[in-house]
Chains A and B, each alone.
Chain A
Amino acid sequence: MAAFSGTAGSVTCHTGGTILSAGISEWSLDGSMSPVETTEFGNTWDTYVPSVRNATGSFSGNKEQADTGQTALMNSFLGGSAIILRLYENATKYWLVGTAYITGMSPTTSVKGKGEISFNWQASGPVTYN
């Protein structure tokens, strides 16, 4: 097994066409499941059965005022509309979030720094690895 470099990562959003979100330098996906406890009398260990899964995440980087990808993401948040997200590990392998809502957006500007922006998202429905 070989580790891979994150330099070829990317984030794309799809609202009619594929739009690369420029300026992004990191993304994360947090998957979780809340198993249902089925422990019974007589059990010596807790038991569980699988239940629903959930995924949230975030990505951030430099704010690029003219970038169509960042604009689409901002409009998704402002308009409360769903988007399709792809979180690329490299040129070919990516996580597909079929329906995602931008749940948070944090543009920042400081006198000594660059304009930056971060987005939080929430998946609605499944996430797949392709």
Chain B
Amino acid sequence: MNDLLHIGSALFNHIKNNGTIDCYYRKAKQSASVPYCLVYFMTANDDYTFNDKSLNADYVVKVISDKNFPEEAIRLYGDIHEIVQDASLSIPSYNVIRLRRESILEYEDQFHFWNIGGLYNLDITQQ
């Protein structure tokens, strides 16, 4: 499970260090001011060869906004996407093969916050 900590940390820090809005992993703090970016893990599959292993993991990266309309979140997420797509993360003991968006999400939650983002697939293989 340490692999997931390293991967999540690498992705989160990459967005935090390069993005223009606050970024949180898993969940935002209670006093977080919108808009902000949220990153969380969805699922991962292990893939083995005789000598090493690979990991294929999905992460959600999204922007949360409290505006009436989603345009602000869409614009901010566009900036975040530029940072995340094909990013060369540094993950201990692994080589990053690919980090790419697989799908886009957009919805208004029950508190009328816009959630705009994407599902990103990270493919890494053991060094």
Mark A residues whose CB is within 8 Å of B: 7-11, 20, 22-25, 61-62, 114
Other-chain contact of A24, B50, B54, B125 (Cβ < 8 Å): B50
Offer 29 A-B interface pairs, CB within 8 angstroms, sorted by A: A7-B48, A7-B50, A8-B50, A9-B50, A10-B50, A10-B51, A11-B50, A20-B51, A22-B49, A22-B51, A22-B52, A23-B49, A23-B51, A23-B52, A24-B49, A24-B50, A24-B51, A25-B48, A25-B49, A25-B50, A61-B49, A61-B50, A62-B49, A62-B54, A62-B125, A114-B54, A114-B97, A114-B123, A114-B125
Nearest CB on B from A54, distance (A): 26
Number of A-B contacts (CB under 8 A): 29
Q: What's the Cα separation between A122 and B51 when bound, in Å? A: 24
Nearest CB on A from B125, distance (A): 7
Mark B residues whose CB is within 8 Å of A: 48-52, 54, 97, 123, 125
- Chain B, interface SS category: strand
Q: What's the Cα separation between A30 and B107 when bound, in Å? A: 54
Q: What's the Cα separation between A11 and B49 when bound, in Å? A: 11
Nearest CB on A from B58, distance (A): 14
Q: What's the Cα separation between A83 and B50 when bound, in Å? A: 21
13 more CB-based (< 8 A) A-B contacts, given A25-B48, A61-B49 = A7-B50, A20-B51, A23-B49, A23-B51, A23-B52, A24-B50, A24-B51, A25-B49, A25-B50, A62-B125, A114-B97, A114-B123, A114-B125
Query: Which residues in A have their C-beta under 8 angstroms from that of B125?
Result: 62, 114
Nearest CB on B from A130, distance (A): 18
Query: Which residues in A have their C-beta under 8 angstroms from that of B97?
Result: 114
